[in-house]
Chain A
Amino acid sequence: MGDSPANPGRSQDAPAGQAISRRALLRAGIGGAGLAGAAAIAVSLHSATGPDTPGQLPPHVHGQHPMPTVVGEVDHARNGFHPTDILTDFDAGAVSQLPNGQTLHEYTILAQDKMIEIVPGLEYPAWTYNGRIPGPTIRVREGDRVRIQFLNGSDHEHSIHFHGVHPGNMDGVFDAASGVVGPGGKYTYEFDAEPFGVHLYHCHTSPLAAHIAKGLYGAFIIDPKQGRPKADREFVMVMSGFDVDFDGTNDFYVVNGIPFHYDHDKNPIRLKVGELVRIYLVNILEFDPANSFHLHANFFHYYPTGTSLTPAEFTDTIALMQGQRGILEFRYKYPGRYMFHAHKTEFAELGWTGVFEVEA
């Protein structure tokens, strides 16, 4: 959370922690909203906790200490997507058979500029794939043919760059011939899905940080030919952030588009004791060097990039760089409320936190 001159909001602050000279002291007192914060401390005519306190106390759960959160709930209907649905809306596209026997998955993805209420009361001018953040979760089987018609309905050039193996002209990086599409244009990306694992796709147009940070990303899952062992519940979690004041640092951190969505007082994810839970986890967080995932009161088997059927690690915390992803598998032994969050407190307290509510 740094400030930069680019901050459009003006505040009137003196840096904290300076030695306080007489002059500074005076300035603080007078008009200086600066130390005013502090200075401000002057004497209150009414006790802040007294009956004539103008501000009511914020509502919080009885008997629970105040935890970081946002106030209210975003208008999901107006946003046009619901993070609870995004957990499980794996999209196989329009499936058909090619003459050579190969399965074909056809998708249409539209790049769209859209105002999204990311936290209650705050709308962010996002760039989206199909009007949602993250974009659709593409899920196919290894060796299948993937055909994606990409339409650019945005005011800016965009592309889709898939992680995976494909020809250079399907990489979405350099020019029109490799899938960079101007406003109103279109392009068809087509390739065989390989290797199996959990991957991602995102826009690869310059300036890249903006094109990613504004919302152009999604999960791309390739199942192994023989499939994975059956899980009771499968979820997608795409970790990212939002820099709403454009100062090059994230103001909110998030999994699946809306900060705090899966929090205990909002939309916790309900599970049952003993269920095998599989999470396809993707990190596309811009600006910060790394992200992480921590599961409370439990351990999980971790399959980095999901490219092996043998877990590499049994742990409760993993770290991921931008673009890194993996598969987590776990079962809850006891009923209860369990947090999952970035094990970087700042990220968690700025939105990347959620709760599993496990019933017996």
Chain B
Amino acid sequence: MALIFGVPLVLLAVVIGVFVYTNGAGLNVRPAAPVETVQFGRTILQPGLIEIRLRNTSPEEIRIAQVQVNDAMWAHAIYPSRTIPRLGSAVITLNYHWVQGEAYEVTLFSANSIPFHTSIPVATTTAPASPATLWSFTLIGVYVGIIPVVLGMFWLPALKRIGARPLMFLMSATVGLLIYLGIDATTEALESGAELGDAFQGTGLVGIGIAGAFLLLDAVSRQQMTIGKSEAGQRMTLATMIAVGIGLHNLGEGLAIGAAYAVGAAALGTFLVVGFILQNITEGLGIIVPISKDQPAMRSLALLGLIGGGPAIAGTWIGGLLYSQPLSVLFLAIGAGAVFQVAYEIGKQMIWKDSARRHMPLTTFGGILTGMLVLYITGLAIK
């Protein structure tokens, strides 16, 4: 049986063998110039020292011949080797007395005379990992993740007093908000993915992240909904799903902030943190909308806040400490897939169900549009 399944594979191996052996079987497969691309990773700066990480994302191995810093050839060491295999990485070390706050352009020349440029826009000593920096990252995560989400949840008492129509409006606004976040995260993931280098197939990675997150959350919610819960229980499940989706989204956001934080406190000013708080406060509101007519326990609410906002902290740690670009793209995509799924879930569970009882198409329309416009307008103000 296994043999029969193996036949096409054996034939395929033969064809590939012939193609390689005959050097393209009549096709001219030799490129006029070698295709060489690299993906730069982190640059670490210590006094008198520059350390550059890179990965070879081209079809063949690359040999780094020489290194240039700001229009001067510079002595350097390359670990583990000057020759970097496909998808392999290397660390380049230079003795260079860089100046605090100045900009540097580093150019690597491959053996085939192909230059690769990377820049250090603002030179500053890379902070070593210490409890203090870990604490800073945690604080950033708390400010941009937990605080706004929890603050948003304080609307719960107010929500209890409003009627069915305003509630439907808010629910729709949450959907609009999530759609907006999803589109934003998708764009972000695609843009970052495009910079990954061919080998990592950024767009494909984004597709995997979005589809994977969407389908997984969908499966989980179907399973949860069918295990015979009360309507209140189902609404709590939905709130949890929203929190998970928003949490995954915040993980991606935290990741980005964590990695960028090191650009210097100046880059991530008070203004930007306030911006994050403003935008993310609506996420807290979104989480509690489905359970606004129930009597959730304080413990459940705290847990929802933690699920929605906490991942931002984990994100800053991962982004700051274990910087990995493909992983970042994947996380962003997962965040996008998650919020799309949650938007769909709210639509399915609440809006359509309620619409069956009482039709409110204009409220739904107005709500969704308002949700998107709120993010658009806060974005205008802070970007």
Contact = CB atoms under 8 A, between A and B. Distances in A.
Partners in one complex: yes
B118 A37 contact: yes
B129 A3 contact: no
B302 interface: no
Contact of B44 (A27, A48, A58, A69): A48
Nearest to B121: A16
Contact of B202 (A23, A31, A49, A345): A31
Contacts of B74: 66, 68-69
A60 B77 CA distance: 11
A16 B328 CA distance: 22
A308 B162 CA distance: 101
State the main secondary structure of chain A at its contact with B.
loop
A28 B49 contact: no
A35 B91 CA distance: 18
Nearest to B259: A29
Given A9-B115, A55-B78, A120-B65, A30 B120 contact: no
A58 to B, nearest CB: 4
A345 B326 CA distance: 39
B256 interface: yes
A33 B262 contact: no
State the main secondary structure of chain B at its contact with A.
mixed
B256 A16 contact: no
A39 interface: yes
Contacts of B322: 45
Nearest to A68: B72
B126 A43 contact: yes
B120 A122 contact: no
B120 A54 contact: no
Interface stretch (A77-85, A164-172, A346-354): A346-354
Contact of A8 (B33, B91, B129, B383): B33
B73 A55 contact: no
A30 B117 contact: no
A56 B79 contact: yes
Contacts of B67: 71
A350 B109 CA distance: 13
A17 to B, nearest CB: 6
Interface size class of A (residues with CB under 8 A): 35 or more
B76 interface: yes
B263 A11 contact: no
A290 interface: no
B247 interface: no
B66 A121 contact: yes
Interface string A38-56: 1111111111110001111
B321 interface: yes
A311 interface: no
Contact of B257 (A1, A26, A252): A26
B192 A30 contact: yes
Contact of B121 (A38, A53, A70, A123): A38
Contacts of B71: 1, 345-346, 349-350
A30 B255 contact: yes
A10 B197 CA distance: 9
A7 B268 CA distance: 33
B122 interface: yes
Nearest to A246: B113
B263 A56 contact: no
Contact of B259 (A1, A23, A30): A30
Nearest to B128: A47
Contacts of A30: 188-189, 192, 252, 255-256, 259, 325, 328-329, 332
Interface stretch (B7-15, B34-42, B224-232, B358-366): B34-42
Nearest to B134: A43
Contacts of A53: 51, 93
A87 interface: no
Contacts of B373: none
Given A22-B275, A30-B188, A42-B262, A60 B95 contact: yes
Contacts of B267: 20, 25
Contacts of A16: 103, 105, 119-121
A44 B263 CA distance: 13
A31 B325 contact: yes
A9 B46 CA distance: 28
A31 B329 contact: yes
Contacts of B91: 54-55
B128 A43 contact: yes
Interface string A222-250: 00000000000000000000001100000
Given A39-B259, A42-B323, A122-B66, A31 B328 contact: yes
Contacts of B41: 33, 36, 40
A143 interface: no
A251 interface: yes
Interface string B112-141: 111111111110101111000100010000
A241 to B, nearest CB: 13
Contacts of B323: 40, 42
Q: Closest 6 CB pairs between A and B?
A: A31-B192, A55-B93, A121-B65, A349-B72, A29-B259, A40-B42
14 contacts: A1-B105, A12-B195, A14-B119, A14-B121, A16-B119, A30-B255, A33-B325, A36-B118, A39-B259, A49-B46, A68-B74, A122-B111, A122-B113, A245-B113
Interface of B: 33, 36-46, 49, 51, 53, 63-68, 71-80, 82, 91-97, 103, 105-107, 109-122, 124, 126-129, 133, 137, 188-189, 191-193, 195-197, 202, 252-253, 255-263, 267-268, 272, 275-276, 319-323, 325-326, 328-329, 332, 382-383
